[in-house]
Amino acid sequence: MRFRTVMALTGALALSLATGCAEGGPAGSSRNTVTYWLWDTNQLPAYRACAKGFEKENPGLKVKITQIGFEDYWTKLTASFIAGTQPDVFTDHIQQFGQFSDLKVLEPLDNLGIEKSDYQPGLADNWIGEDGHRYGAPKDWDTVALFYNRKMAEAAGISAGKFNTLSWNPENGGTFEKAIAHLTIDKHGRRGDEPGFDKNNVKVYGLATGGGGDASGQIQWSAFTGSAGWSYTDEKRWGTKYNYDSKTFQSVIKWYFGLAKKGYLAPLEVYGDTANPPNAQMAAGKAATALDGAWLLSTYHGAKGLDVGTARTPVGPTGKRATMMNGLADSISKDAHNKEGARKWVKYLASDACQTVVGKYGIVFPATRAGTKAAVAAYETKGIDTTAFTQPVADKKDFTTFSFPITNYAADVEALMRPAMQDLYAGGAPASALDSTNSQINFILSQ
């Protein structure tokens, strides 16, 4: 569910919208079929089960599901809008919402009876456009927490209870950095906090890397910037200015990437690309901990030879813990070939009838409370503790939750921030270099 912008066709899409879409529809489209695209292969069985329930309630209507890998999903979806072969319904991501809303390829969903009280807090509100119309029906949600290798933690003398008491600050890293340092081991067996530690020849990194991050830093630095009191933009939703030039943000980023210079966080050139995500690093015994999302709970617990535990994100300078709370939705294409059927399908997808079914598969946390409850029970049956991920939603006293930044020109922001963050991570650029990047971003938003 992590988002990587792949909007190379944006200009062409804008042109096609101005001149009209091509004739024809996707394979299998008809007045009796609703076409539906999603990216997560792990969720296919759950949504096939939902489709059966929907078809039983709507005789004569069929749902054709197409799964496309995440790396190709957005490119193919954008191309389909240009060619006029778009799906009737598709899984949408909040970071893509601004771009699609701006390009007017989404159908308003105001009359579907979506009530925000039926879903986890904030999920329904995220999909209201600048024009006040709804463009997404809440689907599922996720938060970020700390995964750790139990065997490595035990060898280092760090208990599960201690992981849940860690705190950090941008000056010296606090007890979080001390733990990460102690979990780091060089090729000679020396720990990161021991004399003679060789930071250039590390066998096990204390913290896995998910790359330099992008405009959001979801599984990299967002938990730290959030618990430092920083916000992406000047407004919670549909902001007009980004705050990457903030001294608070830059102090956090300087500390975070400084962990790589100390040898505790893998350098970008070693494990920082997409072929080596944090879960793979931990499964291979190359890292002791990783900040990662709830959508990978089953993946971590299913990794052969990995005995994994989870802990809450560390307490920050604000005195609170923080996590991004992302929420996906189902959207209807404005030029859907079966718009009536699409509306019925999306309403069903957003209902307890479907979301409880999805929850029972124990793959994601569905957006409705009943769906979430079913997912928690399913994870428990598998012996998986979800507390570190579910507690932030209910505990507003000790936790801060926040969404992806929702603005226009999301693809442009991504295109500028990704290389800028990599320069900080691998190129040794100072955090103050983000002043210039932020100015470019805000100039684009002002147009």
**Domain 10-142+327-390 identical in fold to domain 144-324+409-445:** yes
Distance from C-alpha of 446 to C-alpha of 330, rounded to nearest angstrom: 29
CB-based contacts of 237: which residues, under 8 Å, 6+ apart? 125, 126, 128, 403, 406
Q: Which pLDDT tens digit goes with each residue over 151-172? A: 999 999 999 999 999 999 999 9
Distance from C-alpha of 259 to C-alpha of 277, rounded to nearest angstrom: 18
Q: Please check whether the domain covering 144-324+409-445 is classified as CATH 3.40.50.1170.
A: no
Question: Does 30 score more than 70 pLDDT?
Answer: no
Q: Which pLDDT tens digit goes with each residue over 95-151? A: 899 889 888 999 999 999 999 999 999 999 999 999 999 999 999 999 999 999 999
Question: Does 274 score more than 80 pLDDT?
Answer: no
Alpha carbon of 13 to those of 8, 94, 238, 250, 410: distances in Å?
10, 19, 22, 35, 15
DSSP tally for the chain: helices H, then strands E: 18, 13
Cβ neighbour number for residue 57 with a 10 Å cutoff:
11
Across 136-282, the runs of DSSP E, i.e. the strands, are 137-142, 144-149, 185-186, 202-207
Q: Which pLDDT tens digit goes with each residue over 69-104? A: 988 999 999 999 999 999 999 999 998 998 898 889
pLDDT for 13: 45
Residue 262, both tokens: 């100390």
Fold topology of 10-142+327-390? D-Maltodextrin-Binding Protein; domain 2 (3.40.190)
Partners of 38 in the beta sheet? 67
Amino acid at 110: D
Residue 25, both tokens: 């529809």
Cβ atoms 376, 382 nearer than 8 A: no
Residue 406, both tokens: 């929702």
Half-sphere exposure at residue 68, Cβ-oriented, CA atoms within 13 angstroms = 16
Question: Does 371 score more than 50 pLDDT?
Answer: yes
Residue 383, both tokens: 């012996």
Q: How many residues does the chain have?
A: 447
Question: Does 358 score more than 60 pLDDT?
Answer: yes
Instruction: Domain ranges for the chain, please list them.
Output: 10-142+327-390, 144-324+409-445
> What does pTM read for this prediction?
0.91
Distance from C-alpha of 361 to C-alpha of 42, rounded to nearest angstrom: 9
Q: Which pLDDT tens digit goes with each residue over 394-445? A: 988 999 999 999 998 988 999 999 999 999 998 889 999 999 999 999 999 9
